[in-house]
Amino acid sequence: MRRLNKKKALNFVKELDAFPKVPESYVETTASGGTVSVLAFTAMALLAFFEFFVYRDTWMKYEYEVDKDFTSKLRINIDITVAMRCQFVGADVLDLAETMVASDGLQYEPVVFELSPQQRLWHRTLLLIQNRLREEHSLQDVLFKNVMKGAPTALPPREDDPTHPLNACRIHGYLYVNKVAGNFHITVGKAIPHPRGHAHLAALVSHETYNFSHRIDHLSFGEEIPGILNPLDGTEKVSADRNQIYTHTHTTKIQEFESIFRVINHAAGSHGVSGIFMKYDISSLMVKVTEQHMPLWQFLVRLCGIIGGIFSTTGMLHSLVGFCIDVICCRFKLGVYKPKSMSVFDGHVNSLTPLLSENAEH
């Protein structure tokens, strides 16, 4: 009696369950199904792993804008080594309005012009990168990412004590100029102010000391950003004549430059002043570079799409493969088909179909 009541109670509880249950006869475990499940979970794990790296990656966005701020000053960052002693050279800026810009932010440091082995290796690597950048502009994205991470691109310090005399001058620092065209130049003698512009005390320097071989380790416009490579970085010119003039023409904000040199020979009509001249012009356009990152919600949506897509795809493929196997093995069944049972009763099949025809009986 108690067992009967307990069984009725269990049946009553099952009837109260609102969620339909799948009969155990519908659940079938097969080797092919297990293999498909393992492959599906493996594919989901691999794709989710690679998707995480895509989420961590960033890309650069370039936007062109019109520079509306003409009243502020523009900073020029300079690091140039000239193969002359510091007391024989002077550097300053003269803009389009014949305004001489103060060069108080520049420092003159006696150095050796020849690079150490480690510095020379770094310099060759920099030149190789610059050549690749002129051919493949897409590498600029890699450089900007290195900038965001603060990767060093400056000339490393010497690893050994120089044995040669300090025969060169490293001019480095910064200048603030007006946003108009001008030229930054390094020539013989220190610069002095003049009512009609400016002048250099070149008469006090012997002509035998002239040597404007130079190396530009860094030249940029705007606030200095560690890690970025500029078009003139790594440029090295070795002079074969004492009377040479080097001219580097640079257009800011669009990063275009041109470098030419010629020998000063007044008898041949080639006039000028020996030195290094960097002429620059200001563009009205500015490029805004921002680093973008995939948002978290987009990463989660893509992850759910990967999981759901693999589940659906593997299910359809498993059903299609099973269907093809059934067709090939001649085991495809439409509905539930069972042949009728045959029994013999008094010469008839199932008492309905005669086993022998009437002609056969006669």
User: pLDDT tens digits, residue range 160-191?
Assistant: 777 778 889 999 999 888 888 888 888 888 87
Mean pLDDT of 320-324: 79
% of the chain with per-residue pLDDT over 90: 7
- Whether residue 209 is contained in a domain is answered as yes
Give 168's contacts (C-beta < 8 A, 6+ positions apart). 81, 82, 83, 84, 85, 110, 111, 112, 113
- Whether residue 7 is contained in a domain is answered as no
CA distances (Å), origin 191, targets 11, 102, 168, 180? 106, 10, 19, 21
- Whether residue 226 is contained in a domain is answered as yes
Enclosing H/E stretch for 177: strand 168-177
Question: What domain count does the chain have?
Answer: 1
The string of pLDDT tens digits covering residues 61-95 is 878 888 888 778 888 899 999 999 998 898 888 88
Amino acid 254: pLDDT: 42
- Whether residue 93 is contained in a domain is answered as yes
Mean pLDDT of 245-251: 68
Phi/psi zone of residue 346: left (φ > 0), alpha (ψ -120 to 50 degrees), beta?
left
pLDDT at position 342 over 70:
no
| pTM given for the model | 0.63
- Whether residue 335 is contained in a domain is answered as no
Mean pLDDT of the chain: 75
Token digits of residue 287:
């490029």
- Whether residue 317 is contained in a domain is answered as no
Q: Tell me the sheet residues that pair with 275.
A: 187, 245
- Whether residue 314 is contained in a domain is answered as no
Amino acid 158: pLDDT: 82
pLDDT at position 217 over 80:
yes
- Whether residue 298 is contained in a domain is answered as no
The string of pLDDT tens digits covering residues 230-245 is 888 888 888 877 667 7
> What strand order describes the sheet that includes 214-221?
106-111, 168-177, 74-82, 214-221, 235-237
Residues of the domain holding 178: 68-283
